[in-house]
Chain A
Amino acid sequence: MDFIYVLGDKLASTLFDVVPIAGIIFGFQFFVIRKPVANLKKVLTGMLYVLVGISFFLLGLEQALFPVGRMMASQLTDPVFLETVRITTGVLHWQDYYWVYVFAFTIGASTTIAEPSLIAVAIKANEVSGGAIGVWGLRVAVAIGVAVGISLGAYRIVTGVPIHYFIIAGYVIVVIQTFFSPKAIVPLAYDSGGVTTSTVTVPLVAALGLGLAETVPGRSALIDGFGLIAFASLFPMMSVMAYAQISVWLSKRNHRRER
């Protein structure tokens, strides 16, 4: 059966990713730490689950979401489609791409919610903070950050503004926020920039960037197609710090009221 073959293929390629990691872990465990792994059987079973989980996950994504997402990205950036929904006259203006921004925002947010590495970090953050940081609160905050980032990134490709202006401005905002945020959230916020963009988001976002860069006049797919991922890793830092700032502010306000 075709499906079994594809699943086997996914399993093999995931295994290929996992083998070096497992080699490093068990190599150090046996040669440096020189102690048996506690609950070895459980750990191995857990790793097997992770392997099977990622394989099924990728299989499903490739069968269902990626083709549809790619097709939609190319349809939404298609000049023929844009002609039917445009709101200005004459040459296409950046406003005419409004559906692209809406798509970028919603697909950025929704794929981030399903991102496995973010789920992992959110579970840990919840555990370590003793429940102060909600699993869903963090995930939604990061999702909003990715959504804003990708829409802005799409706008950048359409208008052709150089990427480093945005990135530098973003860095400045992150630095300013760092000084005003609760200290405990800062490392987690910095981390959330990196975890957002892996299995689900990157392929869909790359398709959108490439589709835009290919169809917008004057853009080169090779140069302008890049950069969306950078946006998606920058903005979550801001949104997570903002999430912490808002929750501190809200609890202070409630506190004052109680008095």
Chain B
Amino acid sequence: MDSVRDLMPIMLVIGFFQIFVLQQPLDNVAALLSGAFFVILGLTFFIYGLEMGLFPIGESMAHAFARKGSVFWLLAFSFALGFGTTVAEPALIAVADEAAKVAARAGHIDNHAEAIDNYATGLRFTVALSVGVAIVIGVLRILKNWSIHYMIMTGYILVIVMTGVAPDEIIGIAYDSGGVTTSTITVPLVTALGIGLASSISGRNPMLDGFGLIAFASLLPIIFVLGYGMII
């Protein structure tokens, strides 16, 4: 039961703080224990399914695209995967709604429901678009063997320059949006896609070239959201 070990640290932290720092009894010990049991059960199933379903399908599609040799379709697939998995991401929807409220309070947009809604939707699509573009760039990098260092550094420089220009309220949200885009299902799929591609193109090393797609997917949203804040 590896999952028990995975969950142990959280239980220890919560137990320690409750008993020694806050010194308050835990109500609902039964709910806590059954919840922990579900988490363990869920993790076990997830990891099992990962090796059985998500990794193989991601890699086999990467191989199939590499054999087919159509760069266009590969890129179309990459974009669709990035955009499609992000646009409905619950964490992103929550952050976009919060961000719209911030913008309304700061007076950037009208403080009524419709304007806030439009802003939130616009933000969501901006982030989804950026993740789609990011996966495309990342896949192109694997195909063309570009150096990831310089690409990421260029991205950092862009972020720093844009931070100086963008309105203050958007900065925290923009930085956070890089982290919320990559969900539990997207990460294994995208990782398998990258590694599958790198291992089926000759002259690529899966370790050097297969990773890095997630990095683009966490950097580009920052740039796009800062840009969104500057335009709106």
Give the B-binding residues of A (Cβ under 8 A). 13, 16-18, 20-21, 23-25, 28-29, 32-33, 35, 37-39, 42-65, 68-69, 72, 75-76, 81, 85, 99, 103, 106-107, 109-111, 113-114, 116-117, 119-121, 123-125, 128-129, 163-164, 167-168, 171, 174-175, 178-179, 183-184, 186-188, 190-191, 193-200, 202, 222-224, 226-230, 232-233
Contact = CB atoms under 8 A, between A and B. Distances in A.
A163 B84 CA distance: 30
Given A56-B38, A190-B211, A20 B171 contact: no
B102 A109 contact: no
B85 A113 contact: no
B41 A60 contact: yes
SS class of chain B's interface: helix, strand, loop or mixed?
A: helix
B228 interface: no
Contacts of A18: 185
A30 B182 CA distance: 26
B175 A167 contact: yes
Given A72-B18, A119-B47, A190-B212, A230 B172 contact: yes
Contacts of A113: 6, 9-10
Given A53-B47, A57-B38, A117-B183, A171 B17 contact: no
A72 to B, nearest CB: 6
A49 B173 CA distance: 34
B195 interface: yes
Nearest to A42: B52
11 contacts: A20-B84, A46-B50, A50-B46, A75-B22, A76-B17, A164-B163, A184-B208, A193-B178, A195-B214, A223-B102, A227-B172
Q: 6 shortest A-B CB distances, which residue pairs? A: A46-B53, A64-B35, A49-B49, A57-B42, A60-B38, A46-B52
Given A116-B184, A121-B191, A194 B38 contact: no
B208 A187 contact: yes
Contacts of B88: 16-17, 20
A223 B186 CA distance: 28
A202 B91 contact: yes
Contacts of A193: 178-179, 214-215, 218
A229 B180 contact: yes
Contacts of B57: 25, 37, 43, 47
Given A47-B53, A107-B13, A53 B31 contact: no
Contacts of A198: 91, 180, 182-184, 187
A187 B171 CA distance: 25
SS class of chain A's interface: helix, strand, loop or mixed?
A: helix
Given A32-B77, A120-B50, A163 B171 contact: yes
B61 A117 contact: no
A49 B212 contact: no
Given A21-B85, A47-B54, A60-B36, 7 more contacts: A49-B49, A60-B34, A64-B33, A68-B26, A114-B43, A171-B160, A184-B207
A114 B13 CA distance: 13
Residue picked from B35, B160, B169, most chain A C-beta under 10 Å: B35
B105 A222 contact: yes
A109 B186 CA distance: 22
Contact of A63 (B31, B49, B183): B31
A218 B87 CA distance: 34
A32 B73 contact: yes
Contacts of B10: 65, 107, 110-111, 113-114, 200
A189 to B, nearest CB: 8
